[in-house]
Structure formats: structure tokens, C-alpha cells
Amino acid sequence: MVEEGVILSIVLVDIVHVPYNAITFEMELADKAVGFLLSLISLSIFTYYTFWVIILPFVDRDHFIHKYFLAQEYAILIPVFAGVALFCLLCVFIGKVRCHMHQVATVVLKVARIPPVNIFWSDKEEQEDEISEVQVNLEFMS
């Protein structure tokens, strides 16, 4: 008869010595390629913007290099608009997450049969009544 410790050690050895999966290797290569591409794009944008904002103002206006860059006004407007758009998207994302969490909490409260607690009480007695109701319901459930 085999002891439990021996079986456990055999299972652990089998888990530890799992052969390397080819799919994992392919995914790692894909992740590295995407990461390299994103890094290359970010570095290109940074180099372009740095040259545009820092070096280009010291070059004569009639030089041929100016035809490869936008006007200097856009050097400020583009990042400002990008920042505002990013801020708006962040606010929308946080709002959607908060609404979803509110819906989940409402479902959990309905399943647990706990009345929702209003955080905006009109007076102190109403607040104490609602808190005592919730405490009674929680004690009843446990």
C-alpha cells in the first residue's frame, strides 16, 4: 500500500516537471513582438516631438526640414487635446465600472435580502432606524 505522502510528492513532481508548451512559446513571441512594436512607435513619436519642439525653433524658417513638421501651434494643441480625450475616456471608464459595481451590489443585496442603506439621511432618528434594521437582518442571516 502506498502512503499519502508518497502520492502527494509524485503529484507535485509531475506538476513541477511539466514540459514546456509550444503554444506558450508562440504567445511569448507574439507578446514580445507587440511590445517591441509599441516601444518602437513610442520612441518614434517621442523623437519626432522632441525634434519638433526643441530643435526646430532654432532652424531657419526657409530651411527644407520645416516641410516635414506641422506649425508650432500644433505642438501644444495636439498634446492638450490628447490629454483631454484621455481624461474623458478615463472618466467614462470609471463611471461604467462604478455603475456595474452598483448593479452587482444591488443584486447581492437582493439575494441576501438585505435592504439597501441610504447614506443621505434626513435626520438622525431615520439613520439609527435603518442601521438597526440592517443589523437585525445581518444577525438573522448568520
Structure confidence by residue, pLDDT tens digits, 34-58: 999 999 999 999 999 999 999 999 9
Beta strand extents in the chain (DSSP E only): none
60 phi/psi in degrees, rounded to 5? -60, 145
The pTM for the full model equals: 0.50
State the pLDDT at residue 107: 77
Side-chain-facing half-sphere of 114: CA atoms under 13 Å: 20
Q: How far apart are CA 70 and CA 32, in angstroms?
A: 33
C-alpha span between 119 and 123 (Å, rounded): 11
Half-sphere exposure of 3 (CA within 13 A, CB side): 3
Kindly give the confidence (pLDDT) of every residue in the chain, 142 residues in length, as a single tens digit, with 9 standing for 90 and above: 444 444 444 444 444 454 555 556 666 888 888 999 999 999 999 999 999 999 999 999 899 998 999 988 999 999 999 999 999 999 999 999 998 888 887 777 777 776 655 555 555 566 566 666 655 555 555 5
